[in-house]
Structure 1
Amino acid sequence: MTIFRMRFWLPATLMCWGLLGACASLPNVTAMSDKLEPGAVPSVTGVHGAMSDARAKALLSKRWKKASLEQQAQAALEEAATGVPLIAGNKTTLLFDGPQTMAEMLKAITAARSSINLETYIFDQDELGMKFADALIAKRLEGVVVNIMYDSVGTIGVPAEFFTRMRTAGINLLEFNPVNPAKVSGDSWKVNSRDHRKVLIVDGKTAFTGGINISATYAKSSLFRSASKPTDKSQVGWRDTHIKVEGPAVQAFQWLFVRNWATQDKDDLPEADYFPQPVIAGDKVVRVLGSEPGGKFEIYKAYNLAIQESKTSIHITSAYFVPDRQTVDALMAAARRGVDVKIVLPGVSDSGLVFYAGHAFYDELLASGVKIYQLKLAVLHAKTAVIDGNWSTVGSTNIDTRSFLHNSELNVVVLGDAFGTEMERAFQEDLRDSTVITLNDWRHRPWAHRMKEWAARFMNYWL
């Protein structure tokens, strides 16, 4: 078993040993839709604080050109469910695959003047990991405050010396929820709770998030927008998506980082200008959603409400797709009422059990009119969605119980047709490199696959 798979399987393995508590459950999001008020206006904050309802309504009508009263009320419902307001005045940049994302992140690190906060599930000691470590050490030696929070399971195979070198250079490091209970004070050891976020915040002005870890796995590009079509899998990188955010919303990223650091009962963050005066960087209206174990299920609620309230289209790209019953029912209901529901899922995966567990719902989804595609050749690791062309999300959250219940995750919701159009173009690119799964083909799949799906189904909750 590779280190990458070990990182994924360890929490489930410990569960089998009886070290974990009872199963938790996800909230009933369907009941929240009954609170939808046609005249409701979502609250919006900007560089000068909260806007009046009239100003917020005018801004949304301008930036979200197709926004009806119903869509604005949906945004208000999402706020009521998550407790998180919209933030105006941002610039958003979609980043595709590892090379493009890593180049932008390293560029931001090199330009840092005050602080760098990095939160990641995986930080490997490989060529790319060393490049990031060297860049971060260089900035610390220049006097920039550097704080790194890395997950204990995600880095389980990384030599301690890799982190010691950065710590010796003056970088502040925090191992999130150590696998070794001896490293945890009190009775707070909850090994199944993982920090799955991938966040970089530079100077409190620029933030990155998405599905990309610090690993050489992302050294190569996938087939996305590729002029040539390599047939050798070894020459194809993973398909993933990140987003760069500039503007007032970066403060929300920063707050989530500080709060997650504080939950670990470690030393306080060193002094730095983490929250500089925000400035308008663009015209995008966003919602920054962070979820954590034992929290309020903010990302799950937002996802399901968007699916339930969809009118024309639901286009999802999901690396690990092991949905709960409520999500399956919402997708099926949308397809039956005429919504164009398309889901791009892995055709190859780094985790066989998750791959087959996700197949458990294919039959009923296909029968209801949901269209399923499997990405060819490249390993799919992106976690994105665009709904009705104007509600988009990019982040670290998979559509599975583990992400919604047991992980700390972060997703950005971007409202508006302009960003939605970018997301749609990306989705169409993924469709181009995918194979459609028909109901007839699915019902005639090999029996060997069916047996693997049957075995994987027993682990659905923990995947």
Structure 2
Amino acid sequence: MHKTRSPQTPGLRRLCGLVLSGLLLAVVGCSSLPPKTADLPVEQAGTVNVSGAAGQVSATAERKALQGMVNEGKKDLAIHHLKTLTATGDADLYQGNRTRLLVDGPATFGAMKAAIAQARGRVLLQSYIVEDEGVAAEVAELLLARAAQGVKVAMIYDAVGSITTPDAFFKRLVDGGVAVCAFNPINPTKRPGFWGLTHRDHRKLLVVDEDVAFTGGINISRVYGSSSFGRRGQPTGEGALDDGWRDTQIELRGPVVPVIGQVFETTWREQGCQGELGQPAPQKAAAEPGTRVVKVIASDPRDKDNRIYSTLLAAVDAAQVNVRFTMAYFAPGNDFVTALRKAAERGVVVEMVLPGRSDSTLAFHAGRSYYDDLLSSGVRIY
């Protein structure tokens, strides 16, 4: 959704890098988006701006959209959280979207492959890990097939995250008409001058024309192929993998799709990637408008303010009823742990779902070192 990462503050950077894989998407329904104007205090740093398929909407349409969201939930909570969103600047929101939660790898890859197969203008794919076997090989064949039909296809993979993938895999894609770019190559002669070696790209994005976008925590890797897991995290059922992992993705349709496409385009340009991205085919006329309002927050290692982490921390600090989250790598900084503890101590229900086993021993034990303090404050850990 995930995000390029710098190791200068490992716990903080890794945490926000995997919140939603680099693109933090506030998909809002009931209690996150209050109206602006008179309800907001004068000390707020920014205002709410609502856009739709044709750009920024009129003041009347904006008020109607925001009021509709407020009516879904509790007005006081809605206003409270929008004040939080606008505390550091404008809150740019996109209305009229449809969203779908893809709960695991099979659901995600099924939806992504179907979207690629229907591409008409261009396909943009970005992932920390791109493997050369299993589902990755299937995705590669689809990309090559669309490129052969004249669709512009571009891929960004992280040079470290995909270090074990043979060069021949990417060369075959290039030979087949796919524009391929390694994010921040290890070879200093190929690396953009203003990026440090340890600046890595953890985003997972797929954008197909202006029709659909995906983001979340799932790499293009076979380890997400398990369809079900048992009570203790052990894979069960046909097709389950002993080394499998479960993560989550989100599918978005509507005005937010080209916004996510622009995030990809910015990375492509700043990394000096070669090849044409082409133009997306317009959104299908038959597409039905949705009702979800979405905010996109993109960040990279040069972002000193770390917008994703700051937004997450502010949301916890502002919580009045509950905080619920899950993440693959819980290695927080002290400020985030303090925010969680304070929220629980003031009566907020704080619940976390964290891995029972991990491929990163360091992150696993770093997170668990905080469990006693969190539990003693009333945080619930599952």
TM-score strictly above 0.5: yes
Give the secondary-structure state (helix, strand or coil) at the position aligned to 2:88.
helix
- Residue of structure 2 equivalent to 1:97: 104
1:81 pairs with 2:97: no
Return the match for 1:357 from 361, 366, 379: 366
The alpha-carbon distance between structure 1 residues 180 and 107, as it changes in their structure 2 partners (threshold 3 A), is same
Q: Matched residue of 2:354: which SS? A: strand
Cα offset, 1:294, TM superposition: 1.7
More helix by share: 1
Counterpart Cα distance in 2 of 1:270 and 1:301: 32
Q: TM-score, normalised by structure 2?
A: 0.82
Q: Which residue of 2 aligns with 1:200?
A: 206
Indicate the residue corresponding to 1:110 in structure 2.
117
SS at match of 1:140: helix
Please name the residue that 1:395 is paired with: none
User: Which of 1 and 2 has higher RCO (CA within 8 Å, sep 6+)?
Assistant: 2
Runs of 4+ in 1 over 4 A off after TM superposition: 22-27, 231-236, 274-280
SS in 2 for 1:85: strand
1:335 aligned residue (319, 335, 344): 344
Query: Percent identical across equivalent pairs?
Result: 36
Q: Which moved more, 1:318-327 or 1:157-166?
A: 318-327
Paired residue for 1:248? 255
What's the counterpart of residue 302 of structure 1? 311
Given candidates 125, 144, 150, the residue that maps to 2:151 is 144
Work out which of the residue numbers 287, 298, 302 in structure 2 matches 1:290.
Answer: 298
| C-alpha distance in 2 between matches for 1:124 and 1:240 | 17
- 1-structure distance, mates of 2:189, 2:75: 55
How far apart are the structure 2 equivalents of 1:266 and 1:166?
15
Q: Secondary structure of the residue that 1:101 maps to in structure 2? A: helix
Q: Identify the residue that residue 222 of structure 1 maps to in structure 2.
A: 228
What are the equivalent positions in structure 2 for 1:50-69 lying under 5 Å apart? 50-64=56-70, 65-69=72-76
Say which of 308, 313, 322 aligns to 1:313: 322
Q: 1:269 Cα deviation (Å)?
A: 3.2
Q: 2 CA distance for matches of 1:276 and 1:333? A: 45
How do 1:418-429 residues align onto structure 2 when only pairs under 5 Å count? none
Please report how far the alpha carbon of residue 255 of structure 1 lies from its aligned counterpart in structure 2 after TM superposition: 0.8
What letter is aligned with 1:355? F
Give me the whole-angstrom Cα distance separating, in 1, the residues matched to 2:9 and 2:336: 18
Q: Secondary structure in 2 aligned to 1:223?
A: coil
TM-score (norm 1): 0.68
* Cα pair distance change 1:119/1:128, threshold 3 Å: same
Q: Which of residues 163, 176, 180 in structure 1 aligns to 2:170? A: 163
SS of the equivalent of 2:131 reads coil
**Whole-angstrom CA distance in 1 between matches of 2:53 and 2:127:** 28
Per the alignment, residue 181 of structure 1 pairs with 188
Gap regions ≥5 residues in structure 2 = 14-35, 41-46
**Offset at residue 70 of structure 1 (A):** 4.8
Secondary structure of the corresponding residue to residue 338 of structure 1: coil
| 188 and 349 in structure 1: CA distance in 2 versus 1, 3 angstrom threshold | same
Q: Is the Cα–Cα contact under 8 Å of residues 335 and 370 in structure 1 kept in the other structure?
A: yes
Contact 1:99 1:220 in 2 (8 A): yes
Distance 2:258 2:87 in 1: 21
Q: Output one character per residue of 1:102-132: Cα deviation in whole Å (capped at 9) or x when no partner.
A: 0100000001111000001111011211111
Question: 2-side partners of 1:274 and 1:290: how far apart?
Answer: 24
Separation in 2, partners of 1:289, 1:311: 23
Are the counterparts in 1 of residues 92 and 295 from structure 2 also a CA contact under 8 Å?
A: yes
For 1:339-418, list aligned pairs within 5 A.
339-373=348-382
Q: Separation in 2 of the partners of 1:267 and 1:236?
A: 35
Q: CA distance change for structure 1 residues 82 and 149 in 2, over 3 Å: closer, same or farther?
A: farther
Separation (CA, whole Å) in 1 of partners of 2:235 and 2:163: 35
Shift, 1:286, TM fit: 0.8
Q: Is the 8 A contact 1:82 1:298 kept in 2?
A: no
What letter matches 1:198 in structure 2? K
Match of 2:39 in 1: 39
Q: For residues 203 and 241 of structure 1, do their structure 2 counterparts lie closer, same or farther at Cα, with a shift above 3 Å needed? A: same
Letter in 1 for 2:133: D
Aligned residues: 344
